[in-house]
Amino acid sequence: MTSQHATPASHLPRRRTVVKAAAATAALAAPLSGAALPAHAAEGPAFLHGVASGDPLPDGILLWTRVTPSPDALPGSGIGADTEVTWELAEDKDFGTVVAKGAVTARAASDHTVKADVRGLRPATSYWYRFGAAGGATSTVGRTRTAPAADATPDGLRFGVASCANWESGYFAAYRHLAARGDLDAVLHLGDYIYEYASGEYPATDTPLRAAAPAHEILTLADYRTRHASYKGDPDLQALHAAHPIIAIWDDHEFANDTWSGGAENHTPGAEGDWAARAAGAKQAYFEWMPVRQSVAGTTYRRVRYGKLAELHLLDLRSYRSQQTGIGSGDVDDPDRTITGRAQLDWLKTGLESSDAKWKLVGNEVMISPVAFGSLPTHLLKPLADLLQIKIPEGGLAINVDQWDGYTDDRRELLTHLTERGISNTVFLTGDIHMAWACDVPVKAATYPLSRSAATEFVVTSVTSDNLDDILGVAPDTVSLVAEGAIRAANRHVKWLDMDAHGYGVLDVTAERAQMDYYVLSDKSSRDATTAWARSYRTRSGTQRVERVEGPVR
């Protein structure tokens, strides 16, 4: 993977545990067939995996592509000649005014992926780019956009928000609909961009809608490269990358289900090799195949600023976390357990406090809002625990300990920091859980709404990954209504949730409010699925509360 600072042209101006639990609660209470890689018809170089851009800066953008130098140089093969790849970036889609250009070398050592870190651009400006190689090979044209100047105050910003796209669970029509929008500054991808399972394992079936490649569970660097390549062969995903810059973080399935710092639920030491080697291969493939800059020690936690209106604080909640504990375990309150790691939590706290941006947006892989049953005031918990001779989690019986619910001391420290330092307008943007939520983030859930809210959280549903109706095999808005009601009754800070839909969100930010518009697909099993607006929620500046809005931003 080659990265380069370009010389501008001279004229350039300077999840799943909680889904299963919800399914159990609800039950008690109430035509492409293969993950085909793009065909290579010619003998010379070809661009078969599209183009992409990401991590916008006021003066720069990261460009990405993968060249296939010859028909046998398949992703993950480790073979293929070094190939020079040229790139150019223009102010117009016809490339009449080229403002920057350069060349990078694609090598087998980086799976023939290339990146160009282009600088010297104008802020808040749209550009078009393309790649070329020997023999006249030319990539598709991509459009990208730089961030506003650091001291600018834009009237508004708009981001697509997506998460959890399992290849075998459906088609990526959600990406197609995001690609068709001409009003987005960028798309925020909150993780589970790929899934690691063997074909037919998730969802369990002998006849997947379209089979993953490779067919076995991915374990090695070559495997992860091949899986990334199969995803990048999808036309809807290619369209998304070609239309908008992407700001991405990883979650567990870029590695293995329920990843923690020393392993994963879906990793068997010995039988599946050394975890450290597997994780290293997964990370290498991710940075090769994604338009993402490595930030701190090869992780995805970093910041992306959009002037004085918004700053994105992007987290990595997999590389440093302690191993998950059992559901209902009092160990979730152990102060020695962490989801962020000490250095990252300090980085986040310092960044939120020092930011002069109106809105502090936190790209957050797993829900920070508590979702628990049996939550009791603190003064009753200890006597009850003594009577029962058990250790009861202070926040109640959490149903998804892979979330911040399993690491309550980190959450307590962060929320206390927000309240004590008077940090307002913090909005957590979250994926992972395959459901849509709008929540206040309470300091003490047991006494909410009498106690205060420290922040707000918008959770987007999955692009395709299974949620409640998929797991139960029932029609949407039937059994789920019981589970939704039970969760809201036990968690009064949860203002809305939808356990059934698939789709994406669009976050619209102005100085006065941050609003999430939720969109749902008609049928994830159809390539031609339509999309429709479902709900909108916003948080007004200074309130730390969400409220329903009767319609999306136009």
Would the pLDDT of 17 be above 60? no
Structure confidence by residue, pLDDT tens digits, 267-325: 999 999 999 999 999 999 999 999 999 876 789 999 999 999 999 999 999 999 999 99
| Rounded CA separation 76/108 (Å) | 9
Region 197-208: mean pLDDT is: 95
**What secondary structure letter does DSSP report for 68?**
B
Lowest mean pLDDT among 10-24, 131-145, 369-383: 10-24
Beta bridge partners of 306: 310
| Rounded CA separation 121/57 (Å) | 9
Would the pLDDT of 20 be above 60? no
| Rounded CA separation 117/115 (Å) | 6
CATH topology of domain 17-31+149-194+202-254+286-549: Purple Acid Phosphatase; chain A, domain 2 (3.60.21)
End-to-end CA distance of the chain: 40
**Which residues have CB under 8 Å from 144's CB, separation 6+?**
53, 56, 61, 63, 126, 127, 128, 129, 244, 245
**Which residues have CB under 8 Å from 291's CB, separation 6+?**
52, 53, 54, 55, 62, 63, 64, 115, 241, 245, 246, 248
Q: Which two tokens mark 43?
A: 């003998």
**What secondary structure letter does DSSP report for 246?**
E
Would the pLDDT of 448 be above 80? yes
Q: For residues 184 and 241, is the Cβ–Cβ distance under 8 A?
A: no
pLDDT value of position 292: 97
Count of Cβ atoms closer than 10 Å to residue 95 Cβ: 15
Question: Starting at the edge strand that comes first in sequence, how are the strands of the sheet with 453-459 ordered?
Answer: 302-306, 310-314, 359-364, 426-430, 453-459, 436-442, 494-498
Structure confidence by residue, pLDDT tens digits, 451-486: 999 999 999 999 999 998 888 888 888 888 888 888
Backbone angles phi, psi at 170, to 5 degrees: 165, 180
Q: What is the DSSP string of 259-316?
A: EETTEETT--TBTTB-HHHHHHHHHHHHHHHSS----STTSS-EEEEETTTEEEEE--
Amino acid at 421: R
Kind of pairing between the strands at 546-549 and 453-459:
unpaired
Structure confidence by residue, pLDDT tens digits, 31-71: 333 344 566 556 789 999 999 999 999 999 999 999 999 99
The 3-state DSSP class for residue 379 equals helix
Would the pLDDT of 76 be above 90? yes
Count of Cβ atoms closer than 10 Å to residue 275 Cβ: 19
| Rounded CA separation 362/352 (Å) | 9
pLDDT value of position 477: 82
Q: For residues 342 and 299, is the Cβ–Cβ distance under 8 A?
A: no
The 3-state DSSP class for residue 228 equals helix
Q: How many residues does the chain have?
A: 554
Highest mean pLDDT among 99-103, 292-296, 485-489: 99-103
Count of Cβ atoms closer than 10 Å to residue 63 Cβ: 31
Structure confidence by residue, pLDDT tens digits, 232-282: 999 999 999 999 999 999 999 999 999 999 999 999 999 999 999 999 999
| Rounded CA separation 224/425 (Å) | 38
pLDDT value of position 394: 64
pLDDT value of position 543: 98
| Rounded CA separation 508/494 (Å) | 21
Region 9-30: mean pLDDT is: 38
pLDDT value of position 38: 64
pTM of the model: 0.91
pLDDT value of position 393: 59
The alpha carbon of residue 415 and the mean position of all alpha carbons in its chain are separated, in whole angstroms, by 22
Q: For residues 285 and 228, is the Cβ–Cβ distance under 8 A?
A: yes
Would the pLDDT of 390 be above 70? no
| Rounded CA separation 355/368 (Å) | 21
**Which residues have CB under 8 Å from 242's CB, separation 6+?**
50, 51, 52, 140, 141, 142, 143, 179
